[in-house]
């Protein structure tokens, strides 16, 4: 029988810095919950809103796979590898921090907030050469199906990372149902509801709820509302990969 963990949106850690409003699914910064340290190799799942004209000053990372998914607005990125780009809603950005990188993220639009997900995964290789990539996605490619946005394979759809992980986005009509097959034995899946409501094997989830499921080969997804949007993160449950 599958193991599961339900994380309702209101149980997340919260930090409001004025310019940044952040919800933490897992322990982060001043939010510490011994029962919410990680899900498999997912170490951080932050749901961030950055005020207009504000952002994150230059800071460092190492030995972490960092994925950013803009939900609204645009975020300017600069890093120590020489990249200077802008990511918009519809893009997915990845950084393999490896031996160490420095970067900044800034909302250049003083009139509009930026909302984005920041996700950190433990890598399966340490001290790799730092790298950066981003891709632009088509929303139509996830209508009533799962659009792969991340994998371990550089030749697959979406970005790739140093981990046996697969991410998918889906946008479903009401009552649309599909079955998901876990990509690799001993992987689990963390479902994060971006909009609307969904049921996973009959367990109802609302907007910004998270649901982990593991020790299973697959599960059923059913959209409970029109325009339901979900992010599925299929990841190793062991931190050593």
Digit-coded pLDDT (tens) for 163-173:
999 999 999 99
Strand 198-200 to 218-223 pairing:
antiparallel
- My answer on whether 215 and 145 are in the same domain is yes
Task: Give domain status of residue 4, yes or no.
Answer: no
Domain boundary among the residues 136, 158, 189 is at 136
18 and 129 share one domain: yes
Q: Read off the pLDDT of residues 111-160 as tens digits, 9 standing for 90 and up.
A: 999 999 999 999 999 999 999 999 999 999 999 999 999 999 999 999 99
Report how far Cα 167 is from the mean position of its chain's Cα atoms.
Answer: 8
Q: What is the pLDDT of residue 1?
A: 85
Name the nearest CA neighbour of 151 among 107, 127, 179, 183.
Answer: 183
> Of 88, 120, 136, at which residue does a domain stop?
136
Facing residues of 189 across strands? 213, 234
Q: What is the mean pLDDT of the chain?
A: 96
Cα 172 to Cα 177: distance, rounded to the nearest angstrom = 8
- pLDDT at position 153 is 96
User: Do both 151 and 212 map to the same domain?
Assistant: yes
* Same domain assignment for residues 201 and 161: yes
pLDDT the model gives residue 36: 96
Q: What pLDDT is attached to residue 240? A: 64
Is 185 found in the same domain as 173?
yes
Shared-domain flag, residues 112 and 213:
no
Looking at the structure, do residues 25 and 94 belong to the same domain, yes or no?
Answer: yes
| Half-sphere CA count of 239, side-chain side, radius 13 A | 9
239 — pLDDT class (breaks 50, 70, 90) = confident
Q: Are 138 and 151 in contact (CB under 8 A)?
A: no
Domain end position, chosen among 77, 110, 136: 136
* % of the chain at pLDDT higher than 90: 96
Its domain, for residue 59, covers 12-136
Report d(CA 13, CA 28) in Å as an integer. Answer: 8
Domain assignment present for 241: no
Q: Are residues 26 and 55 in the same domain?
A: yes
- At 241, is the pLDDT very low, low, confident or very high (cuts 50, 70, 90)? very low
What's the pLDDT tens digit per position in 89-116? 999 999 999 999 999 999 999 999 999 9
Q: How many domains does the chain have?
A: 2
Residue 222 maps to which CATH number?
2.60.120.10
Dist. CA 87–CA 122, nearest whole Å = 23
**24 and 130 fall within a common domain:** yes
Query: Per-residue pLDDT tens for 28-87?
Result: 999 999 999 999 999 999 999 999 999 888 899 999 999 999 999 999 999 899 999 999
DSSP codes of every residue in the chain: --EEEEE-GGGSEEEE-SSEEEEESS-BTTB--TT-S-BTTEEEEEEEEE-TT-EEEEEEE-S-EEEEEEEESEEEEEETTS-EEEEETTEEEEEE-TT-EEEEEE---TTS-EEEEEEEE--SSSSPPPEEEEEE--GGGGBTSEEEEEES-TTSSSEE-SSS-EEEEEEE-TT-EEEEE-SSTTEEEEEEEEES-EEETTEEE-TT-EEEEESSSEEEEEE-STTEEEEEEEEESSTT-
Q: Name 87's bridge partners.
A: 75
Q: Is residue 1 part of a domain?
A: no
Q: Are residues 152 and 211 in the same domain?
A: yes
């Amino acid at each position: 029988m599958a193991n599961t963990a339900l994380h309702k949106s209101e149980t997340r850690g919260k930090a409001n810095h004025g310019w940044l409003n952040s919800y933490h699914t897992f322990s982060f910064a001043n939010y510490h919950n011994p029962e919410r340290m990680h899900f498999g190799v997912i170490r951080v799942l932050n749901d961030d809103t950055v005020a207009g004209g504000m952002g994150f000053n230059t800071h460092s990372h190492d030995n972490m796979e960092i994925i950013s998914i803009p939900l609204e607005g645009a975020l300017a990125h600069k890093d120590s590898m020489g990249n200077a780009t802008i990511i918009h809603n519809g893009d997915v950005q990845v950084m393999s921090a490896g031996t160490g990188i420095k970067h900044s993220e800034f909302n250049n639009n003083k009139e509009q907030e930026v909302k984005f997900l920041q996700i950190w995964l433990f890598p399966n290789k340490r001290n790799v050469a730092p790298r950066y990539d981003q891709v632009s996605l088509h929303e139509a490619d996830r209508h009533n199906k799962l659009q792969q946005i991340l994998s371990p394979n550089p030749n697959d759809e979406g970005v790739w990372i140093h981990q046996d992980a697969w991410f998918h986005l889906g946008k479903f009509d009401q009552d649309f149902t599909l079955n998901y097959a876990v990509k690799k034995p001993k992987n689990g899946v963390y479902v994060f509801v971006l909009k609307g409501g969904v049921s996973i094997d009959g367990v109802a989830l609302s907007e910004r709820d998270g649901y982990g499921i593991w020790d299973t080969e697959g599960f059923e997804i059913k959209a409970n509302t029109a325009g339901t949007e979900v992010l599925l993160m299929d990841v190793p449950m062991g931190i050593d990969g």
